[in-house]
């Protein structure tokens, strides 16, 4: 999408990006021209890795399609929100006497689905949403609009390694519930009370096998019609409010 069609804030060039990172700007991702080098480039790369900022090496043609400006081989997308660390959120929840309710999104790439999920998550009392730093929907003006502003109200944790994050959740006393068609257990027949992390997978192939290994329980939504699956934002809403229902019944 060309810049005149998108109001998301971008940064062009090596030095402006270095200054933005050093000043604490939240960078969503960086596109870097393949073959780029030089002293300034080698100054930038450790900064990206240290701050866990996703980057991708791309052909010059892709950068030229993104913008007509003199990008000097670098295009960076600024995030509209600040990211959180789940290691900071969980302890405070326990200290406040709350039962953590965490949502983990595995490769949800559609902006509208992502925004709709955030909107429901905020309404359902989810304490934080975990996303991977690669393969997730962009946090851009489209996400803000489809979330109805919920993107600013719920902590989003961008994880470099979701496996490590899931292991941390389990070690912190949360059960991991995977929503998958590969089970016979219906969602409303499973106990979803207590500290819980709910994993929703991509519409294409569901939850990654590596993440499924962390699941303490697997549930599915009954499908009575000819269509075999729900839109992921609808499925997420069904599961989140089942958690709400069970918690309110106590």
Q: pLDDT tens, 31-73?
A: 999 989 888 899 999 999 888 888 889 999 888 888 888 888 9
User: 140 Cβ partners below 8 Å, 6+ apart?
Assistant: 6, 8, 28, 77, 80, 111
Distances, alpha carbon 136 to alpha carbons 12, 111, 205, in Å: 22, 9, 14
By the 8 A CB rule, do 211 and 108 touch?
A: no
Domains of the chain listed by start with CATH number: 3-78 (3.30.1330.30), 86-249 (3.40.1280.10)
Residue with the larger pLDDT of the pair 161 and 175: 175
Cα 218 from Cα 222, distance rounded (Å): 13
Q: Distance from CA of residue 214 to its chain's centroid?
A: 18
Number of other residues whose CB lies within 10 A of the CB of residue 98: 13
Say whether pTM exceeds 0.75: yes
pLDDT of residue 10 exceeding 70, the answer is yes
Helical (H) or strand (E) element with 132: strand 128-132
Beta bridge partners of 242: none
Per-residue pLDDT averaged across 23-32, rounded? 84
């Amino acid at each position: 999408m060309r810049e005149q069609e998108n109001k998301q804030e971008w940064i062009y060039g090596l030095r402006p990006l270095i200054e933005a990172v050093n000043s604490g700007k939240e960078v969503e991702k960086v596109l870097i021209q393949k073959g780029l080098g030089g002293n300034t480039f080698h100054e930038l790369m450790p900064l990206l890795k240290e701050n866990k900022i996703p980057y991708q090496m791309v052909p010059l043609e892709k950068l030229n399609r993104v913008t007509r400006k003199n990008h000097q081989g670098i295009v960076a997308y600024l995030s509209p929100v600040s990211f959180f660390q789940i290691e900071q959120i969980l302890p405070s929840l326990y200290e406040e006497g709350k039962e953590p309710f965490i949502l983990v999104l595995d490769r949800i790439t559609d902006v509208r689905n992502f925004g709709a999920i955030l909107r429901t998550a905020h309404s359902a009392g989810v304490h934080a949403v975990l996303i991977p730093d690669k393969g997730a929907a962009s946090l851009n003006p489209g996400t803000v609009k489809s979330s109805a502003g919920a993107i600013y109200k719920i902590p989003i944790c961008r994880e470099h390694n979701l496996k490590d994050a899931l292991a941390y959740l389990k070690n912190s006393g949360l059960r991991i519930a995977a929503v998958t068609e590969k089970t016979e257990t219906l969602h409303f027949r499973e106990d979803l009370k207590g500290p819980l992390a709910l994993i929703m997978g991509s519409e294409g192939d569901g939850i990654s096998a590596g993440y499924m290994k962390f699941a303490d329980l697997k549930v599915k939504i009954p499908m009575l019609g000819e269509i075999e699956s729900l839109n992921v934002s609808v499925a997420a809403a069904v599961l989140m409010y089942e958690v709400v229902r069970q918690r309110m019944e106590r």
